[in-house]
Every structure is written in C-alpha cells, then in structure tokens.
Chains A and B, each alone.
Chain A
Amino acid sequence: METKDIKRDEFVINVGPQHPSTHGVLRLELWLDGEDIIDSKPHLGYIHRGIEKMSEALGYKQFIYLTSRMDYLSAHMNNQACSLAIEKGLQVEAPPRAQVIRVLMAELSRLASHQLWWGALGLDLGAVSPFFYAFREREMILEIFEETCGSRLTMNYITPGGVVNDLHPDFVKKVKKLIEQLKGNLHEYDQLLTGNAILQARTRGVGKLTAEDAISLGCTGPVARASGVKCDVRKLHPYDGYDKVDFEEVLNDKGDNFARYWLRIAEMEQSIRIIEQLIDNIPEGSYREKLKGVVKLPAGEYYQRVETARGELGVYIVSDGKKEPYRVRFRTPNFSNLNALRPMLKGAKIGDMVSMMATLDLIIPDIDR
C-alpha cells in the first residue's frame, strides 16, 4: 500500500483502535473531505499474540488450543482445520461418529457466528433491538456447547483423531428444540431488519465488490460468494463428510452490502438444513481414534483448508519429525477480506464505512493472530 502525504485541506481521522464500530482493535486511518472518504489505510497488529510462533514451541495436540483464540466465533472450525492437517500427517481418519459431531458443531457455530454478526450489524447501523433477538437463539447454541464441550466461546473440543469427549445426552433433544425455534423465528429477523426501508437504503448499491476484485484480493467466504465467486471449501474440497450432506452453496452476483447481508441469512438456512439431516443420523461407535500421547508428524508439509463462518481458513504445517511443528502458518479469511475494505471505501460516506465493516464481518484477532 503506497504512503500518502496529508494535504493541508484534508481532514484525517483515526477510527480505532478503540472505536465501537471496529469490533476490536483495528485502526483505520481515514482521509476525509467533509463526510466523503477520500482514502483509507488499515493499521494492524494491536492484538498480535504471535500464535504462529507460539505454536512452534508446543506439541501438535497442544497448539490447536491457541487457534480457538484466532477467530473466536469459529473456534470449532479453527480446531477442525488443525486437527485435519495433523490427521493428514498421521494418516488417520476420525471415526464416522466424530466426523458427524464435527460437522454438527461447525454448523452450530456458523449459526451462532452469523447471529452475532446480524445483531452487531443492527448495532452498527443504529438499531439496538436486533442484537437482543439475535442473542436469544445464540444463547441456546452456546448452552448446547457448554454442556458438551464445557465452555462457551473457546471450546477446544475438536482434537486430532476425533473429538475430546462424547456428546452430552441432552444434545440431540436440545438441538432439535433449537432448530424448531430458529425456524419459527427467522421470519422475525426479516420483519425487524431485512424489510426495513432504512436498512435497504443503507445497504443496497453500497460497498460494491466485483467478482474480479474479490478474486484478486483473495476474499473468501460470504464476502466472495456475495460477488458471485464459487469458493465454498465444503463443496470444492469436502472434508469430514460434507460431501454426504445435501446443501446448497448460496451465491449472489450483486456484490453490494445487501447481497452480503442476504447471503448470510440464506447461509443460516443452509446450516439449519445440514443440522436437520445429521441430527437424527449420528452414527454409533467411538468418538475418537486412539492416538499416542505425544504425536510426531513425519517430516514434510501438510496443508488443510476448511470453511469457517467468514471464509477459507488454511492451516499449513511444516514438520521436521520432532514433537513440535517446525513452522505453522494460518491463512486466515479475515485478513484477506479486510483488503476489500479500501477499494470499497473510496468515495463512500462515513456512515457507509460502518455498514461495509459490518457486512465484511471482520474479527480482528483473526487478522492479527
């Protein structure tokens, strides 16, 4: 990104690192002309914890727990990606029961993540009430997680070879209740926010991202799919039995804020569809492949990608045969999705910045790692 000299008549403001609409410690430098944004520059690193470097000092089974702290709303998917990469190296596969549990957990956390996004989008656009409606169902999902995994946010549940422990006896009953309630309540989301004329005016035609831009900037997940790019890793490179479930990759070719909004709502319906197919068909059997206490990967390079709630997460592990990885590298979706912000912001208004950030659904700890 080229540096820019500040001209005398330009108005520069710093949005963040402590700012309500950045949802974390992202700092955006904005060059303004009145309300119009001339240019912007994101500054990263305020929550850099060195997860990649720390992973080099921890064993293969241990460093996974750090990844729950990257994209904390997709903690299950982050753990899943690392587990799959390690399983690739060990050439083991999780038993069928564990695979189904993993998919169920991943889809539940996708639902929870999209619900938080929906509520936070309302807050960003000035409507406070949606937040509480979103949290009604999100709270149920977190309770389900708490029962089975023992924790609500950083679950650390998926592990190489399967999952840490078996499902709670109430799991199936509670998930069914959740799905039933969610299906009845999704129309409330539309009534409260989607159909609102102000929301439509704020999002339609704002923050356009073309398919070419989305590809060249490396955008993935709902952001790219809203521009018409097919990029769902669950479809393109199925893992953990995603090829056996029936769901659609939702696409939209508009590429504006409303397309991203609509797409996430539609994705929630697809997640419900996946959960409905699997919840009655959890296979019996072991939930974890027995592995050695200290796992050593054969020397080599291993790469695994999964679809988190925000896009494609790639885990790249280099092993030199020791009990710690030689190098771990994460290709995180938010880092690439953030790149889309600058081209979108040119010529937009300050109010648009908030709605663009909201529909990009950035999680800052995932950018900085």
Chain B
Amino acid sequence: MQLSISLLEITRAIDSWLNSIFHPHVAFGIELVLAGVAVILLVVAMAVLMVYAERKLAGFMQMRLGPMRVGKYGSMQAIADVMKLLLKECLVPTNSDKMMFKLAPFVVTVVSFMTIVPIAFARGIQLWDINIGVFYITAVSSLSVIGILMAGWSSNNKYSLLGAMRSGAQIVSYELSGGLALIVVVMMSGTLSISGIVQAQADGWWVIKGHIPVIIAFVTFIITSTAELNRAPFDLAEAESELTAGYHTEYSGMQFAMFFLSEYTNMFVLSMVAATVFLGGWMPFHIAGLEGFNHFMDYIPGIVWFFGKTFFILFLIVWFRWTFPRLRIDQLLKLEWKYLLPVSIINVLFAAFIALMGWYL
C-alpha cells in the first residue's frame, strides 16, 4: 500500500511540475511521450528478464544449469543476446515483397506494446483507465495476426507461408474461447474496465469466489492464451521440426529480435490479463475472518502481488513449453471447435445465470 501510494504521488508531482513550466497541451504531449517510453522500457526489461528466466527454468527442467558464462549465473546472457542481434545484418530475401517484409515486425511489435496500455500494475499505476479495457486488449491483441500473415506472405518462402496460415487459423479460432472466458468475469464484475474488475475483487479473487464457471474460464483462458502466443504445445506456426522456423524463417538480426520481443511481450501481457481478471490483479490475498493474516497480507505492496501473480502464470506457460510435445494442426483446431468453444459457451450461460442470481460471494 505504502509503495503504491508513493508512486501515485510521484506521477502527480511530475504532472503538476510539467504543467507549471509548459502550456497544458505541451505538458500533456510530454506526458504521453514519457508514458510511451515508460511502457517500452518496462516491456523490454521484462522481455529480457523473461528470456533469462525461461532459459534458466528450461535448464533446471532438463537437468542442466542453463546460461552460466556471461555474468554471475549467466545473468547478462539475455543482454549479450540482444547485443548480438543488434549487430547482425537484417537480410531481405531477393524476391520478397520488401515493404511488407520490413513492416511486418513493426506491426507485430507495436500491437504487442499497445496491449499493455490499460493494464493496472498497482493502485493508481495505470496508463489509461479506459472503460472498455478488457475489450480493448482482446481487440488489439488479435491484430498481431495481421503482422504474422504479412511476414509469412512477403517472405516468398513456402515454409513461411505455411507457418503464417497455421498461425492465422490458430489465432482466429482461439480468440473465441479466450473472449468467452473473459466475458464470464466481465459479467460477474459488471464492468469492462480493468480497474473496475480489480476493485470487484477487493473481497476475494474471482477464481476463488466465482465458483466453477470462473475456474473453467481461467483454465480455458490459460490454454487459449498459450495458443494465441504460438507457444508450445501450440507452436505450430513456428514448428521448427516441420517448418524450420515458420513465418519468421527468413528474418534475421533485429527484425527477428522484434518477433521474439513481441512474443515475449504478448506472453507477458496475457499473463498480466489473466492475473488481473482471475487472480485479483494487485489485490492481496485475503481470508475472510482472519484479521491478522489479512493485515499482514496488506503490508505486501500491490505491485509485488501483481507481478507475483503474473510470474506464476508465466511460469505455467514456460512449464507447458518444456514438457509437452506439439499438437497437429487438425488436432489443434479440433480442440478449439469441438471441445473448448462448446464448453465456453455453456460456461458463459451458466455464469450468466449465476451472475443474475447473485450466487457468487
């Protein structure tokens, strides 16, 4: 609590300071730029951290140490990788559609940066408290498929095209269940805004007080977000044993790094959405009746709660990747259209009934 309030005061102080020097419009413009820089810095820092964490976790799951050479316990490994990718030449295939080829990584990256905007990191730490936050995230994150299709088409490579088509089919299908899973919580909270959903969980996280429908929705959301991220076991779009590298086969250097960055950013954003919507965002864990325990939990800052939950879901996604084999394309679509979607639709009806009757805690 202490920390989050002080952060809010810092932003207010910056706001009043800028307004005292500049014209309010100019100050607003500067604030927008600052916010954008803050988002990019946060995303890049998190992506670098995630790459390191994933490599270490993968190492431990595979009875090895993971990166150990660069820095203490390999902590500088991700930064060294970024430096390497920055120094590499960005090759463009001869017969490719050059403009689309160069534009595609930017589309993918910008889309993934845009989705981070309405996320509430802690009380008052939110860039844009838009009243349709959840809807905005689902809408914007589905744009990334355009970038992937552009990359696959413009590479003039059959493997890339196959990977892009797989990715298109996959993302378009899995969005449905993902959206329906979010609708369950939206109905129970009665609001689409992220801060509203977090506030609705002040007396208990949805996954605890929402009964079975929210648990089903939570599991569905984790599965669909793994699929939307193109990560194992749904990494058909870049299945390295089938399509070498899928839609980014022809990309190298920083262009490849941007696809990589956007994958990790998307992973990060979807985990944050799951943490916000199902696990109470920055709300601490409370058990009704245990006052001492609840007070103790309140002392842990909201930002710690939020990132703790996010990393828990990130860990789940990493864990999937390093243990599961890959599905086949028809099995992937069957899983969505024959199992997840019917279950989600029935679940939404069930949840609507519960929300109408007010049976949740």
Contact = CB atoms under 8 A, between A and B. Distances in A.
A48 interface: no
Among B243, B322, B325, chain A packs the most CB atoms within 10 A around the CB of B325
Nearest to B329: A35
B62 interface: yes
B63 interface: yes
A351 B326 contact: yes
Interface in B82-131: none
A304 to B, nearest CB: 37
Given A132-B63, A202-B328, A354 B241 contact: yes
Contact of A126 (B158, B324, B329): B324
Contacts of A11: 158
A199 B233 CA distance: 11
Interface in A308-364: 349-354
B325 A21 contact: no
A125 B241 contact: yes
B232 interface: yes
Contacts of B244: 19-20
Given A196-B324, A202-B328, A349-B328, A128 B58 contact: yes
A126 B62 contact: no
Contact of B327 (A19, A131, A202): A202
Contact of A133 (B63, B236, B324): B63
B263 interface: no
Contacts of B326: 125-127, 198, 202, 351
Contacts of A349: 328-330
A198 B242 contact: no
Nearest to A126: B326
Interface in B218-271: 232-233, 235-236, 239-244
B231 to A, nearest CB: 11
Contacts of A255: none
B337 to A, nearest CB: 16
Nearest to B63: A132
B322 A20 contact: no
Interface size class of A (residues with CB under 8 A): 20 to 34
A198 B332 CA distance: 10
A17 to B, nearest CB: 13
A123 B324 contact: no
A6 B233 CA distance: 34
A351 B235 contact: no
B242 A350 contact: yes
A123 B63 contact: no
A351 B329 contact: yes
A198 B233 contact: yes
B23 interface: no
Interface string A105-131: 000000000000000001111111101
A136 interface: yes
B162 interface: yes
A351 B323 CA distance: 18
B299 to A, nearest CB: 39
B327 A198 contact: yes
A20 B326 CA distance: 15
B62 A132 contact: yes
Contacts of A92: none
B64 to A, nearest CB: 7
Interface in B3-61: 58, 61
A193 interface: yes
Contact of A127 (B158, B323, B331): B323
Given A19-B244, A198-B326, A199-B325, A351 B63 contact: no
Interface string B299-342: 00000000000000000000000111111111100000000000
A136 B62 CA distance: 10
A172 interface: no
Contacts of B235: 126
A128 B239 contact: no
Nearest to A18: B244
Interface string A1-39: 000000000010100000111000000000000010000
Contacts of B232: 126-127
A233 to B, nearest CB: 32
A218 to B, nearest CB: 27
B241 A20 contact: yes
B282 interface: no
Given A20-B244, A198-B325, 10 more contacts: A21-B242, A124-B241, A126-B241, A127-B325, A129-B61, A196-B324, A198-B233, A198-B327, A351-B236, A351-B242
Q: Which 6 A-B pairs have the closest CB atoms?
A: A126-B326, A125-B325, A351-B328, A132-B62, A127-B325, A21-B241
Interface of A: 11, 13, 19-21, 35, 122-129, 131-133, 136, 192-193, 196, 198-199, 201-202, 349-354
14 contacts: A13-B159, A19-B244, A35-B162, A123-B241, A127-B232, A128-B322, A129-B58, A132-B64, A133-B63, A198-B326, A202-B331, A349-B329, A351-B242, A353-B242
Interface of B: 58, 61-64, 158-159, 162, 166, 232-233, 235-236, 239-244, 322-331
